[in-house]
Structure 1
């Protein structure tokens, strides 16, 4: 084979290889769950988020970096593999604001929102996110009380951790967004501490129960007292009205008597004396006293009146005859 033919054959092979390379690296596809970044000699040109077939300059002029659009889960303080959970207590041990030790692990939902920053602003954005998560949860737990961390304050702690973590991620500018933060477990470090805290919690619940019972009893007594007060007021108002009406009647009688008295004073005076005696004497006891030295001091008329026999009807008729 001549040298010329060798050159021609070598050139043909190189050209064919170049054509194959161009054919294989001039197009790419983006799935619906993916996003892509076009690099021209290593420099970012644009981001592609539309799914489908796309064309570009062949390698090594342009290359493509494909990233997922899915939501990722960062597990802080534990790791779940093949249905088994492995805890890392040294990473989750932290001190609350009232100087108690707790173990707190959580999961962070996040996604890539800026592929360029995610690829080139940090060597390991996942590690940055993990460290930011650790700093955020320790900061919030460190400002919270143990009761809030273990019981009803978890939702507020989650919201505060999410806000702080989002601000840190935005400051670090690593191209990710935090979607949610969920506390998985917040517990005490050992059985003795757990028992002591349980005893305190039970005592607090008992105290609250007693307070509620006392408030119920107080409200009951207050209602009863209010009812008695209303009854007394109503009774007093009725008595007041009755006395006012009685006084008005007495005034009317007095005015009538006074009118009679002005016209006939003597007759009215005698009538008043007689009416008074009629009211007083029927109930009076009459005694005749003798103080001349004899044994009999008084003569009981009222008992004798009761002993006198009443005259019969026949005897009365005979006497009348």
Structure 2
């Protein structure tokens, strides 16, 4: 039993010793070996490595991947026409020399990101006041990003190199500060309202014009139709009169009898109509007293 315990204890001691002298460097990392606080070795290739146990040697790691730094400060900056704008940007960067990075920047990526944020922010503040808002939004946007990248690279590669490479600097948003943005939106809304009112007024005017033209055309059409109708009616009356004259001219007695019948029909249309006349002394009932034209002709 003691032998088993001894073997187990020995294995544990060996594992502890191995864990203190062996370390693995991932392919996404740099391994930095320190000896009494000084950088002894930088391991760039992934794999299993050896070192002395602490406190003689220690190891730390730095990320070798491409990192992204997003802007966090929303403080407004001034353009060439003294307009306050807020910009959002991001930077793509990586550690390329761990020794210089640790000596001149810090022991981890967060320290480098914090210092890089200040440098990029200052570069944007120095360049934005050279351009107008229109230029920043359109023609000079690429020039601004290129200029900021040049300034940042000059800083990180200066007398005390940071051991990093800045791959890209990009602007994601340029906008007015909130109070100016509200004012711009109100002006835009007022302008749209003015245009809408102008369009409505134009539409009303065009509608009135169309209605007036339609009314005029209707009046002209009705007048022409009435004229044509009266013309046709006059022609019909004339033809009817001519036919009546021809017919009545052939037999005046029948014509007089026919006209008397028409007069009787027009006089006694209603059931309640009545007339006070003396049939013996009035000419109105002459047709009743006289013999029928047909009978006279037969006699």
* TM-score when normalising by structure 1: 0.49
Q: How far apart, in 1, do the equivalents of 2:49 and 2:167 lie?
A: 30
Q: Give a deviation string over 1:91-148, Cα, whole Å, max 9, x none.
A: 3x10112322111110011111121232232343222111101111111112222221
Q: Give a deviation string over 1:245-298, Cα, whole Å, max 9, x none.
A: xxxxxxxxxxxxxxxxxxxxxxxxxxxxxxxxxxxxxxxxxxxxxxxxxxxxxx
Find the counterpart in structure 1 of residue 134 from structure 2: 147
Aligned pair 1:130/2:117, yes or no? yes
Find the counterpart in structure 1 of residue 91 from structure 2: 108
Matches for 1:221-232 after TM superposition, within 5 Å = none
Q: How far apart, in 1, do the equivalents of 2:169 and 2:26 lie?
A: 28
Aligned pair 1:94/2:77, yes or no? yes
Contact 1:108 1:180 in 2 (8 A): yes
Residue number among 176, 194, 197 corresponding to 2:184 in the alignment: 194
Secondary structure of residue in 2 paired with 1:66: strand
Secondary structure of residue in 1 paired with 2:157: helix
Contact 1:22 1:59 in 2 (8 A): no
Larger relative contact order, structure 1 or 2 (CA cutoff 8 Å, min sep 6): 2
Contact 1:71 1:111 in 2 (8 A): yes
Q: How far apart, in 2, do the equivalents of 1:35 and 1:73 lie?
A: 18
1:198 is displaced (CA, Å) by 7.1
1:193 is displaced (CA, Å) by 5.1
Secondary structure of residue in 2 paired with 1:70: coil
Secondary structure of residue in 2 paired with 1:59: coil
Contact 1:21 1:59 in 2 (8 A): no
Q: How far apart, in 1, do the equivalents of 2:84 and 2:120 lie?
A: 19
Find the counterpart in structure 1 of residue 57 from structure 2: 62
Secondary structure of residue in 1 paired with 2:167: strand
Contact 1:97 1:141 in 2 (8 A): yes
Find the counterpart in structure 2 of residue 175 from structure 1: 163
Moved over 3 A (4+): 15-21, 192-199
Judging changes above 3 Å, is the alpha-carbon distance between structure 1 residues 118 and 198 closer, same or farther for their aligned structure 2 residues?
A: farther
The root-mean-square deviation of aligned C-alpha atoms, in Å, is: 2.9
Q: Number of aligned pairs?
A: 177
**Unpaired stretches in structure 1, ≥5 consecutive residues:** 1-12, 78-87, 200-321
Q: How far apart, in 2, do the equivalents of 1:59 and 1:112 lie?
A: 26
Aligned pair 1:159/2:146, yes or no? yes
Q: How far apart, in 2, do the equivalents of 1:72 and 1:131 lie?
A: 16
Matches for 1:233-244 after TM superposition, within 5 Å = none
1:33 is displaced (CA, Å) by 1.2
1:70 is displaced (CA, Å) by 1.1
Judging changes above 3 Å, is the alpha-carbon distance between structure 1 residues 136 and 185 closer, same or farther for their aligned structure 2 residues?
A: same
1:19 is displaced (CA, Å) by 4.8
Secondary structure of residue in 2 paired with 1:173: coil
